[in-house]
């Protein structure tokens, strides 16, 4: 069984790499470059799920809509993902790589982690004047922060092919 082999010490030390189950028509595993491109495309799909607020807490709890999106994205670009029972190769790849990506990029609420030093500073208004401009100032700070986050967010919008 392939799963048992991958988890065995022999499979972990295999020269075929971690994506050796993704064979081409000649039974060759993908090159390092191809494996990186596959992973980059998959991560781009996860970025889209974050933007659509469909990010699952774990890969096993993926919604049907998200599952369909990821499979269509990957299978249309890399057809060899189609030729498996129920897409197990893609699910295996995603379930093994999603947790680390999620931990590194997202907070506990499945939103982008804030970079250190970035955040909204709310200054208290010590003046007791009758003009109520404090909410306008906070609103403007929120808009500026949102613009900065949009320009330098941790991920860019994924452009499909």
Q: Could you tell me if residue 125 is inside a domain?
A: no
Cα gap 148→151, rounded to integer Å: 5
User: Residue 156: pLDDT band by 50, 70, 90 thresholds?
Assistant: very low
The confidence score (pLDDT) of residue 18 equals 61
Given its phi and psi angles, is residue 30 left (phi above 0), alpha (psi -120 to 50 degrees) or beta?
A: beta
Tokens of 69: 């999106």
Q: Could you tell me if residue 144 is inside a domain?
A: no
In the block, residue with structure tokens 């090159």: 31
Q: What is the pLDDT of residues 32-73, one digit of tens each?
A: 888 889 999 999 999 999 999 999 999 999 999 999 999 999
Range with lowest mean pLDDT among 16-20, 52-56, 86-90, 116-120: 116-120
Q: Could you tell me if residue 124 is inside a domain?
A: no
Name the pTM for this structure.
Answer: 0.62
> Number of folded domains in the chain?
1
Spatial contact of 113 and 58, defined as CB atoms under 8 Å apart? no
Name the average pLDDT for the chain: 75
Q: Could you tell me if residue 145 is inside a domain?
A: no
Q: Which domain holds residue 19?
A: 2-112
């Amino acid at each position: 069984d392939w799963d048992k082999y991958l988890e065995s010490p022999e499979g972990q030390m295999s020269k075929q790499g971690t994506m050796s189950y993704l064979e081409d028509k000649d039974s060759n595993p993908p090159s390092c470059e191809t494996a990186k491109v596959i992973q980059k495309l998959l991560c781009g799909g996860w970025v889209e799920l974050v933007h659509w607020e469909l990010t699952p807490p774990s890969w096993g709890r993926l919604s049907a809509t998200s599952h369909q999106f990821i499979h269509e994205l990957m299978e249309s670009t890399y057809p060899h993902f189609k030729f498996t029972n129920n897409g197990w190769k893609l699910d295996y790849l995603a379930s093994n790589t999603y947790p680390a990506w999620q931990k590194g990029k997202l907070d506990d609420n499945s939103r982008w982690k804030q970079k250190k030093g970035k955040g909204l500073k709310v200054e208290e208004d010590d003046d007791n004047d009758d003009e109520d401009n404090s909410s306008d100032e906070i609103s403007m700070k929120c808009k500026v922060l949102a613009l900065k986050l949009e320009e330098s967010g941790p991920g860019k919008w994924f452009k499909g092919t």
